[in-house]
Amino acid sequence: MNKKNVSIIGVPMDHGQNRRGVDMGPSAIRYAGVVERIEDLGYTVKDEGDIQIGQADGSVEEHTNLRNLKVITEATEALGAKVFEVAEAGNFPLVLGGDHSIAIGTLAGISERHENLGVIWYDAHADMNTSDTSPSGNIHGMPLAASFGLGHEQLTHIRGYSPKVKPENIVIIGARSVDPGERELIKERGIRVYSMHEIDKMGMNAVIADAIQYLKEERRTDAVHLSLDLDGIDPLYTPGVGTPVPGGITYRESHLAMELLFDAGIITSAEFVEVNPILDEKNRTADVAVALIGSLFGEKLV
């Protein structure tokens, strides 16, 4: 977080799931003042504009149950190239979604520059399904699995290589809706998960401290990406998400998490996804996203 140059990349895509509207998420976050919020903290911000997203008809890929595979592959390839470009230029990539399938592209662009990328997955869901385990065929429930090499080759080999991240370099925070196949995969691959049970029991301060120690121990990682799905936060605070799950992380706990990550200085790239203005109330969810981005970049009350 010592980098003072931030590149914002919008990804207006809603093809990874069935509920329309999340394609307007980047615009809603911009409207909520994300550029000004970061600039006020002393950063130089360049808005790189939006990745162009093709049309999709909701079709399911033959011989799989993957919905909109072609257009998502094209979009994540383009995003991966852009993320790699801005990171190579020395800028901090801040990606605004869009549904969570875009993380396949973000991680492809970031991981190419690192030997051992770490990932903090701040989400109500594990997003570790594949075509074999997904109940819906929606790719926004698959990006983490694809990023460590499981799933359709078009998704696992964005930017021409796989895997993007090792399972042991992943930390999931806020999980409370995990499918049976994902549970088995978490156990099999030994993925570190802090569910709402751990957050309630330990407190967010201890969870973040433990996660940071885990990612840094024995030089496990050489960079850490934050992938924050707004449905990781309780829908009392973020009503404008497509898959809300009650009983989530509070607004204040989320601010504390971002503040602690800033203090640790380990976050080298980030994305904020799944803001859906159609389902929102007066842009509340986008406002929360911008407030949390402020805390991630060092905003303090005093």
Catalytic residue among 112, 229, 280, 287: 229
Task: For residues 301 and 295, give the distance between their C-alpha atoms in angstroms, rounded to a whole number.
Answer: 10
Catalytic residue among 77, 112, 123, 287: 123
- CA nearest 216: which of 116, 139, 110, 109? 116
140 is catalytic: yes
125 is catalytic: yes
Our CA angle for 239, 242, 245, nearest 5°, is 65
- Considering only the C-alpha atoms of the chain, give the largest distance between any 2 of them, rounded to a whole number of Å: 57
Q: Is 229 annotated as a binding residue?
A: yes
23 is catalytic: no
Pairing relationship of beta strands 92-97 and 267-273 according to DSSP bridges: parallel
List 120's β-bridge partners, or say none: 171, 226
Task: For residues 140 and 67, give the distance between their C-alpha atoms in angstroms, rounded to a whole number.
Answer: 10
Q: Is 157 annotated as a binding residue?
A: no
229 is catalytic: yes
**Three-class SS of residue 37?**
helix
100 is catalytic: yes
Q: Is 125 annotated as a binding residue?
A: yes
List 117's β-bridge partners, or say none: 223
Catalytic residue among 15, 114, 125, 255: 125
Q: Is 123 annotated as a binding residue?
A: yes
Catalytic residue among 14, 23, 100, 255: 100
Q: Is 63 annotated as a binding residue?
A: no
List 60's β-bridge partners, or say none: 67
Catalytic residue among 99, 274, 287, 299: 274
CA 135 to chain centre: 21
114 is catalytic: no
231 is catalytic: yes
Catalytic residue among 77, 127, 182, 234: 127
Tokens of 77: 């390839």
Catalytic residue among 231, 234, 259, 287: 231
Enumerate the known binding-site residues.
100, 123, 125, 127, 229, 231
Catalytic site positions: 100, 123, 125, 127, 140, 229, 231, 274
Enumerate the known binding-site residues for Mn(2+).
100, 123, 125, 127, 229, 231
